Chain A
Amino acid sequence: MTETLASAVDLHAHNQPGAPALIWQDTVVSYRELAAGMRAAAAGVAALPAGPIGVRAKKSAQAVTFVLGCLAAGRTVVLPSPTLPNETLEALFAKAGAGAVVGADDLARFTTGDAEPSEVDVPFMLTTSGSTGVPKLVPLPAQGIERFTNWVHDEFDVGPGRRVLNYAPLNFDLCLFEIWATLRHGGCAVLVDPEIAADCDTLLAFLAETRPHVVQAVPLFYQLLTEAAGGTHTLPSVAHVIFTGDAMNPHRLPPLEALFPNTRFHNIYGCTETNDSFRYELRPGDTQRESLPLGVPLPGVAADLVADGEILTGPGVGELVVRTPFQSSGYHDNPSGAFGPHPVHDDGEQYFRSGDLVRRTEDGEYFLEGRADFRVKVRGQQVYLQHVEEVLLAAEGVVEAAAVAVPDVHAGRRLHAVVRRREDSKLNSLVLRKFLSERLPSAAIPSTLHIGPEPLPRTSTGKVDRQNLVNSQKR
């Protein structure tokens, strides 16, 4: 069941051999070349011990070709972040039952272990971010991926003649959209070299040159682009701009509307375990909102808000419990975890408890409140860390921000915020505190603020490393 993607590549190579499949650095890889490379890789992989193949490769056209080769050979590809510590990676590969692992720098070099080959029959095993501990393995079944790539194509057109930007690293779930759905349907995946991912001017020049039609990325990417554009550039090729992975601040929309004059804007919500589950298409006037709604569940998605053991029917806040046509059947190393029957009415189906708190308003709109574990009590009052972060991000000169609750001997817990300001910004805590106090209840104003030009620490899948921030505050 792993061959669907590989067969699609063969078919495109037959129907449109010269059409571009990948753009990587200065080269364009045609479907003919991609299919040939894939078949060569498949032949090489065939000799390896049975079972899944671990790939620690960084993103490149060669790495994409190699992954397709594994799939063509009927192998499951295990794709954790190559930046994880070595011991963590080895433990993950062993748990996944990967008989062979290819190296980060040389795709032809394998190490074979004595891992017991596992009986999985899925194309991909991705990992969770591990921001709360060791990453978990998430097997994604072929039918789910096929349904997902079809949804992507129906909604955004990633077929022949279309170019889709891929900003995320190869191990991110976002690649299911940007790379794998695109190759499934015959479009061209435009791979952003991780070397230029944080370089805003080069990034903007790359988009201007490769002229993608569909762009999906985390809010930070758009922040970098608008910094570089400075209100004077436009990217007229782009028909769809998608915000995902983090909350997009509506106040940041106006410069994006100028940069992308011909685009429809979407806010997409999802996670590795279930893939995407909600989509919202932006409307005029959304810049005035405090935050963007999640929108409506995708076709085939069942979603409930559960609070105190009951399904919320009216307005209120509850944990999002969701089932999608794309979802994993459960963690590989822990079949139950957050997966299981519906916590209120068991209908025999497998649901996923997202851990995300979602608000339904009087008007029936859904808004992400934050992670259930990001809701903390400070001096007796509920504080949503995400809300604090949104307000921090709205301040002039702020590029990135994170708020964490730090254990405190006296107060029990105190809020600490870390803010990355623009290089040329003179933002200090006096100004920022004034801005916060006009917008937040007093309990939500951080006791301590760190403001500097350096980037926030990130986990291997690009989420802000909160544990690191908390630890740096403990003494």
Chain B
Amino acid sequence: MSNTQTITKYIVREFLPDVEVNDLAPDYDLLKNGVIDSLALLRVVDWIAEEFDVSIEDLDLSPDNFRTVENIDALVASAKS
């Protein structure tokens, strides 16, 4: 099951308060465009662990996995499998 919608909602609520959920494309580069910086990354990791009930140890924390909503979705999927 895809969690794109949940992840998009979270990113928009936390980091893009002026943006509509539907406007954030799943392939928008969150790192290059500065939506998520290194500090924000830690918050996202915490949120993923909490929201999807996965252990941080099971997450591959390389930055590329947080580059887009799609990538985060794939990261969550692989951690849960």
Contacts and interface: CB of A to CB of B under 8 A. Distances in A.
6 contacts: A428-B23, A430-B23, A433-B35, A434-B28, A437-B29, A446-B34
B27 interface: no
Given A410-B39, A451-B18, A436 B24 contact: no
Contacts of B28: 430, 434
Question: For chain B, what secondary structure do more than half of its interface residues adopt (helix, strand, loop), or is it mixed?
Answer: loop
Given A433-B34, A449-B18, 19 more contacts: A379-B38, A428-B16, A428-B19, A429-B16, A429-B18, A429-B19, A430-B19, A430-B23, A430-B33, A433-B33, A433-B35, A434-B28, A434-B33, A437-B29, A437-B34, A442-B34, A445-B33, A446-B34, A447-B37
A475 to B, nearest CB: 15
Contacts of B18: 428-429, 449-451
Interface of A: 379, 410-411, 428-430, 433-434, 436-437, 442, 445-447, 449-451
A445 B19 CA distance: 18
A429 B30 CA distance: 11
A388 to B, nearest CB: 11
Contacts of A433: 33-35
Interface in B1-48: 16, 18-19, 23-24, 28-29, 32-35, 37-40
A442 B38 CA distance: 11
B34 A436 contact: yes
A451 B24 CA distance: 17
Contacts of B24: 430
Interface of B: 16, 18-19, 23-24, 28-29, 32-35, 37-40
Given A410-B39, A411-B39, A451-B18, A436 B33 contact: yes
Contacts of B32: 437, 442
Nearest to B23: A430
B25 to A, nearest CB: 8
Contacts of A434: 28-29, 33
A366 to B, nearest CB: 31
A430 B8 CA distance: 13
Contacts of B38: 379
A449 to B, nearest CB: 8
Nearest to A451: B18
Contacts of A428: 16, 18-19, 23
A391 to B, nearest CB: 12
A449 B40 CA distance: 15
Contacts of A442: 32, 34
Contact of B34 (A411, A447, A450): A447
A442 B41 CA distance: 15
Given A430-B24, A451-B18, A437 B39 contact: no
Contacts of A450: 18
A436 B29 CA distance: 13
Nearest to A442: B34
The 4 nearest A-B residue pairs measured at CB: A445-B34, A433-B33, A437-B33, A437-B32
